[in-house]
């Protein structure tokens, strides 16, 4: 019978799903709203509302992120990436298989977005060397990165949550590798799919020039190592701030350094309000014909080589790099001017690439989005500081890399000890993984501040905020009510058909809400469905956790959004490659469960 509490829980669920879809506020804020609303409505106690922060799942995810950061900081992951890309040779199919399978394996013990970000620079360099469009490689790499999270119970947030969500029903927890057979089958199926049909479903996108406000990155790189130096004449109408001179919009030329006449002062990342005076010397980047036109209009002579900036801007000290705005970056939704980007980081933005357009003029006022690629010029030591800020993920390797390579052995030992503790079965998952994370700090692989900075607190609050919603759904009987309603609609079906229905339901939910949200909402519901149908509730819960990674048909998953810019993809590209992948994923998942877990048809 439908009660008032059930109606309130379903109203909260509907409101949360609506806010997830319209994105009026961030997903973590939605989770916090849910967490506060539930005890106010009397659906959970105050203690239950905040139990997520001390849950095994949330602490496990924090620990996994710190361990992954430690492995990355010591350069271990880079050592893995280099030989893999070298073995690919000149074969596109081999490159897809080697890169994608390796990313999948790495995703089994660190965040899939981290695994994909790790391989992105190396993959792009190999694509350039082989003259292969990155768009042919990045979708397989991204999809396999998502699937790789199904190789172990710590590979994705839904699987980490799984045992905690099953505990209230007294179900036997899953072990670290219980899901591995399904993950391996999914990886093999995906690789075969891309090798056999990749030529038909993967786009081949080359960088295009757009309207007058766009320019090809390749054009800019032509003059990247050929900076131009010139001096304003004694008599010139140039005593103005750079913004008023409008050099970039008029000539598509960027002033990257200013030396004040009669002073030793050099400004290596001049801002819009930097005042130019007669006899000041500047260094600029831009197409040669544009620089010549600029020099002629201001009656300047272009020097044959750098003189004043010879040491400062030498190729040993400075250069150009590409960096991408990652998910949850502080830059997202802001303009470069609003955050005083040049003044703060002392590097020069040259251009911004968004999907198939590259903006050269007006970029200071362009609102940045996740996946935007920035072309930057500056000193390598400044790039290192910017890289450490985590506001941007560098696609081009920075020449000055601060890696604690001497700590690689310690980082590996911490990781092995953590996995060993998990496998022993003597410790809770969170305790084992946090021991490995603590080891990273005690052995000085990471400082405690670096460990805190590595944690994606948005994910932590998303998980912690939605866990009490699962408690309320179960506690009020809402899960049981909805489960019985669905069972009435589908009738008496076999366990395989039931799991297929659960898989489809989860896949749809995951496209409109986060995979975490779908897992928290559906695991209690599907456990009740399985009990009502006389099927194995553990398999129903596992189906939800694995199907929560079936997010290929839209760029809503973090990984898909992350590769969208570098690959030059549009939504239609994900629909084209992801539709068959979605169906294949469901078929292989259900088939693997029937084969390895004895689910009857």
- Total of domains in the chain: 2
pLDDT for the residue numbered 212: 32
Q: Are residues 181 and 291 in the same domain?
A: no
> What's the distance, CA 100 to chain centroid?
16
CATH number of domain containing 290? 3.30.70.1450
**Residue 282 β-bridge partners:** 230, 258
Nearest-5° Cα angle at 293, 287 to 298: 125
Residue 443's domain comprises 75-206+405-457
Q: Are residues 154 and 269 in the same domain?
A: no
pLDDT for the residue numbered 207: 42
DSSP string of 86-123, one letter each residue: HHTTT-HHHHHHHHHHHHHHHTTTS-HHHHHHHHHHHH
Query: Could you say which of 255, 273, 297 is where a domain stops?
Result: 297
pLDDT for the residue numbered 210: 33
pLDDT for the residue numbered 223: 43
CA dihedral 437, 442, 443, 447 (to 10 degrees): 80
pLDDT for the residue numbered 547: 95
**Residue 255 β-bridge partners:** 284
pLDDT for the residue numbered 112: 81
Q: Are residues 199 and 239 in the same domain?
A: no
Q: Are residues 125 and 242 in the same domain?
A: no
pLDDT for the residue numbered 429: 83
* Contacting residues for 234 by C-beta, under 8 A, at least 6 apart: 278, 279
- For the chain, the straight-line distance linking the first and the last C-alpha, in angstroms and rounded, comes to 32
Q: Residue 387 in contact with residue 322, Cβ under 8 Å?
A: no
Among 151, 137, 63, 158, which residue's Cα sits nearest to residue 107?
Answer: 151
Walking along the chain (601 residues) 10 residues at a time, the average pLDDT comes out as 89 86 81 93 92 85 85 73 69 88 88 76 73 89 94 89 88 92 96 93 62 44 64 85 86 89 81 87 87 89 86 79 85 90 89 82 87 87 81 72 74 91 85 93 92 83 84 85 83 88 89 79 89 91 94 80 79 90 96 86 62
- CA distances to 80, 128, 314, 518, 554 from 327, in Å: 24, 25, 33, 20, 16
pLDDT for the residue numbered 226: 66
Is residue 586 assigned to a domain?
no
pLDDT for the residue numbered 316: 67
Q: Residue 5 in contact with residue 476, Cβ under 8 Å?
A: yes
Q: Are residues 81 and 200 in the same domain?
A: yes
- CA distances to 213, 360, 541 from 357, in Å: 9, 10, 43
**Residue 358 β-bridge partners:** 353
Task: Report the distance separating Cα 469 and Cα 49, nearest Å.
Answer: 8
pLDDT for the residue numbered 434: 94
Q: Are residues 194 and 268 in the same domain?
A: no
Query: Could you say which of 432, 457, 482 is where a domain stops?
Result: 457
Is residue 22 assigned to a domain?
no
């Amino acid at each position: 019978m439908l009660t008032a509490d059930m109606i309130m829980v379903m109203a909260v669920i509907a409101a949360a799903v609506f806010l997830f879809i319209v994105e009026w506020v961030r997903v973590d804020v939605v989770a916090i709203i849910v967490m506060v609303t539930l005890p106010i409505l009397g659906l959970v106690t105050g203690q239950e509302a905040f139990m997520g922060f001390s849950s095994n799942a949330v602490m496990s995810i924090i620990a996994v992120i710190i361990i992954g950061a430690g492995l990355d900081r010591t350069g271990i992951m880079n050592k893995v990436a280099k030989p893999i890309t070298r073995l690919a040779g000149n074969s596109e199919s081999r490159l897809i298989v080697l890169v994608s399978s390796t990313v999948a394996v790495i995703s089994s013990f660190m965040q899939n977005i981290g695994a994909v970000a790790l391989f992105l620079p190396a993959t792009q360099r190999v694509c350039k060397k082989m003259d292969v469009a990155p768009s042919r490689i990045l979708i397989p790499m991204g999809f396999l990165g998502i699937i790789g999270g199904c190789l172990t119970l710590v590979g994705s947030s839904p699987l980490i949550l799984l045992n905690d969500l099953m505990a209230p029903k007294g179900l036997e927890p899953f072990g670290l590798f219980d899901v591995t057979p399904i993950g391996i089958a999914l990886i093999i199926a995906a690789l075969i799919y891309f090798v056999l049909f990749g030529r038909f479903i993967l786009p081949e996108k080359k960088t295009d020039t757009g309207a007058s406000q766009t320019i090809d990155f390749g054009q800019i790189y032509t003059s990247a190592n050929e900076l131009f130096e010139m001096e304003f004449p004694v008599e010139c109408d140039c005593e103005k701030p750079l913004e008023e001179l409008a050099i970039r919009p008029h000539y598509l030329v960027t002033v990257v350094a200013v030396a004040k006449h009669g002073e030793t002062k050099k400004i290596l990342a001049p801002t819009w309000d930097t005042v130019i005076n007669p006899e000041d010397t500047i260094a600029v980047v831009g197409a040669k014909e544009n620089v010549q036109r600029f020099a002629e209009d201001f009656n300047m002579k272009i020097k044959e080589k750098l003189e004043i900036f010879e040491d400062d801007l030498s190729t040993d000290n400075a250069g150009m790099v590409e960096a991408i705005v990652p998910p949850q970056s502080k830059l997202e939704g802001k303009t470069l001017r609003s955050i005083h980007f040049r003044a703060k980081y002392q590097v020069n933005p040259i251009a911004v690439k968004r999907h198939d357009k590259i903006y050269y003029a007006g970029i200071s006022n362009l609102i940045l989005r996740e996946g935007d690629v920035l072309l930057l010029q500056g000193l390598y030591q400044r790039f290192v500081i910017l890289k450490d800020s985590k506001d941007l993920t560098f696609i081009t390797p920075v020449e000055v890399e601060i890696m604690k390579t001497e700590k690689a052995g310690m980082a590996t030992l911490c990781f092995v000890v953590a996995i060993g503790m998990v496998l022993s079965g003597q410790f809770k998952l969170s305790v084992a993984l946090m021991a490995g994370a603590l080891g990273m700090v005690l052995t000085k692989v990471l400082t405690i501040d670096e460990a805190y900075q590595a944690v994606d607190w948005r994910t932590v609050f998303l998980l912690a905020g939605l866990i009490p919603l699962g408690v309320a759904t179960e506690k009020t009987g809402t899960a049981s009510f909805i489960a019985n309603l669905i069972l009435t609609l589908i009738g008496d079906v076999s366990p395989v058909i039931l799991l297929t229905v659960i898989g489809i339901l989860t896949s749809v939910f995951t496209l409109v809400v986060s995979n975490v949200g779908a897992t928290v909402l559906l695991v209690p519901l599907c456990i009740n469905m399985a009990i009502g149908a006389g099927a194995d509730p553990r398999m129903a819960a596992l189906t939800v956790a694995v199907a929560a990674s079936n997010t290929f048909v839209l760029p809503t998953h973090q990984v898909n959004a992350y590769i969208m810019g570098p690959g030059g993809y549009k939504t239609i590209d994900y629909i084209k490659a992801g539709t068959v992948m979605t169906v294949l994923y469901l078929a292989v998942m259900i088939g693997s469960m029937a084969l390895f877990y004895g689910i009857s048809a």
